[in-house]
Structure 1
Amino acid sequence: MILILLGCQKLKPESVSIPEYPDFEELMTQQVEILGQTKIKKVVWLEGQSEVQEMTMDSANWAKELSFLKEINPNQPEYVGAFEKSTEDNYQILTLGPDERGALKQVKYTYTEGEYHSILATFHEDKDVYVHHRDIEMNFEKGILNSLSIDGYQKMMLKDTVRFGINVNVQ
């Protein structure tokens, strides 16, 4: 009788394999330090109207500007095991599994020799009262951010869809 009970117990695995996803929060911290005092040209548009700004950024501005990296960070507890991995050309691709829930739908990135070259991410939140969508593209030169673009839209219940975009070029 004792042997049957022991045979039915679940055995704990000696180790759990957790997929490694890139940590964009760590990337944000690194870029804030690297970029420090830099000049940028920023174009912001909302519903077809645009505004161009040229400014000198400091680390506080960069932390604010790059804070979206926390949202699109695939290396969060809720995403453990949620992505299907694939490759295409030089891109590593993480696609949210069909049965998984999460606003980060896909991340494509190129990373070699300890440096990111590009990151493309699709963030899509579909709530009861609103839909929020962003397509994000970041390009790096020698591991340092040199351009960023975010194109998206927001649709509130009983309101029109609002389209927006941001383009940042580091000079």
Structure 2
Amino acid sequence: MKQFLPIILIVVIIGGAMFVFQDPSDEEFDPFWSREEAMQGSAWELTVFVEEGNESPEIGLKLDYQGDNEDLEAVEFFYSHYSPMGSLFYQDVTLEDFNGEIIYQEECNFCETEHEEGEDEEYFPRPSGGDFQISWKENGQVHQDYHHLVVPEYVFEDLKEGEH
């Protein structure tokens, strides 16, 4: 029994270290609001999401690459938001340790809009959205996809009111 005690102690220490030093990317993706967008024929699956931020909402994009991760050499995307104007930009030309997923979000200082006087926001909510463009280099060839995204305005209102 005395011979097994050190082995058990070592196993407990290693197990505890593995638990404490878990990779944070293993956390579940659970934003305040999200919508998967169908990009038919694309090498990417796209999810647009809104998250609670410190001072204002955060808007982000989650991209899942459907090809072989080793073939991907570089990626960049642009999201141009309108009504009101704003944009997101992401670029990674080295893709070291790429696991097939990109999650990018930043503070959205353009997300909250005010209705003009006389506008009936209950019957005519303004959709909020924009155009998305992704470019990536795979096996020496550059590819591009375009998509239009819509984020309903009620998402930002619900987030401001604290409704989950």
Shorter-chain TM band: under 0.3
Bigger-Rg structure (1/2): 2
TM-score, normalised with respect to structure 1: 0.26
TM-score, normalised with respect to structure 2: 0.27
